[in-house]
Amino acid sequence: GIQVEQSPPDLILQEGANSTLRCNFSDSVNNLQWFHQNPWGQLINLFYIPSGTKQNGRLSATTVATERYSLLYISSSQTTDSGVYFCAAYQKVTFGTGTKLQVIP
Amino acid sequence: ETGVTQSPTHLIKTRGQQVTLRCSSQSGHNTVSWYQQALGQGPQFIFQYYREEENGRGNFPPRFSGLQFPNYSSELNVNALELDDSALYLCASSRAASGSYEQFFGPGTRLTVL
């Protein structure tokens, strides 16, 4: 099956810093989603982005399907951005390994 | 618009018992998927239901089974519980449409097997 790898596995940022999270997938995919999992386990939709670039406030994402990767950009990070970020590739849904982000004041 | 809901929130069972978890999909959605998330790992796909039929399955044994009802709500049943079944169980719903598979997740059920 498809393999989905995320990097870095762990990231510590000072509040206000910018970061880029990467998601690599081993085969072509039809769809890709980014999620933020809060400390209570809820997966919150960030982006549904099979290709191209989208922006939502301080967050943006880019998927280059032909090169099998997606990037999630977080600008001006806040402590509330802390948690685990997952990308998920479809159709037989495969989640990545996750990036655990901690933003410190 | 009503979001995805799951019940119960927490559950404690003993090894060998059976458990049923429930999920109500978001209004307008006709597809439900179930995931198991062990501590420190990403969610693992169990199976998906569309129009009351199983529509894809991950690498889980037959003692994991499910149902989808005409109102698109769903159940996950696990028989002969094992200690390794302790995990967060997540349900996601989506609206099967041409080329779109965006999923929306419920808050999860945390199952502990003793």
From chain B, the residues in CB contact with A91 under 8 A are 56, 101
pLDDT at B97: 66
Distance CA A46, CA B86 (A): 27
Compute the distance between CA of residue B14 and CA of residue B29 in angstroms, rounded to an integer.
34
Contact A40 B100 (CB under 8 A): no
Q: Is A9 helix (H, G, I), strand (E, B) or coil?
A: coil
Question: Of A100, A97, A101, which is closest to residue A24 (Cα–Cα)?
Answer: A97
Pair of tokens at residue B33: 């998927």
Asked whether the beta carbons of residue B108 and residue A41 sit closer than 8 angstroms, the reply is: yes
| pLDDT for the residue A29 | 82
Q: How far is CA B31 from the centre of its chain?
A: 11
In this complex, do A41 and B104 lie within 8 Å of one another by their Cβ atoms? no
Binned at pLDDT 50, 70 and 90, residue B60 comes out as: very high
| The token pair that represents B107 in the structure block | 């808050």
Q: B81 pLDDT band (50/70/90 cuts)?
A: very high
pLDDT in tens, B1-49: 569 999 999 999 999 999 999 999 988 888 999 999 999 999 999 999 9
| pLDDT value at residue B28 | 85
- Residue in this structure with the two tokens 């037959």, named with its chain if needed: B62
pLDDT digits over A50-94, tens only?
999 999 999 999 999 999 999 999 999 999 999 999 999 986 688
Q: Which residue in A42, A95, A96 is closest to B107 by CB distance? A: A42
Q: Which residue of A has its CA nearest to B33?
A: A93
User: How far apart, in whole angstroms, are the C-alpha atoms of residue A104 and residue B14?
Assistant: 40
pLDDT over threshold 70, residue B99: no
Residue B43 C-alpha, separation from nearest chain A C-alpha, in angstroms: 6
Residue B62 in tokens: 């037959």
Q: How much is the pLDDT for B100?
A: 66
User: Residue B31 forms beta bridges with which residues?
Assistant: B50, B94
Contacts of B18 (CB under 8 A, 6+ apart): B77, B78, B79, B80, B81
pLDDT of residue B27: 85
Interface test with B, best of A38, A43, A85, A100 (most B CBs within 10 A): A43
Burial class (CB in 10 A: 0-12, 13-18, 19+), A51: middle
Average pLDDT estimate for A17-34: 92
Q: How confident is the model at residue B98 (pLDDT cuts 50, 70, 90)?
A: low
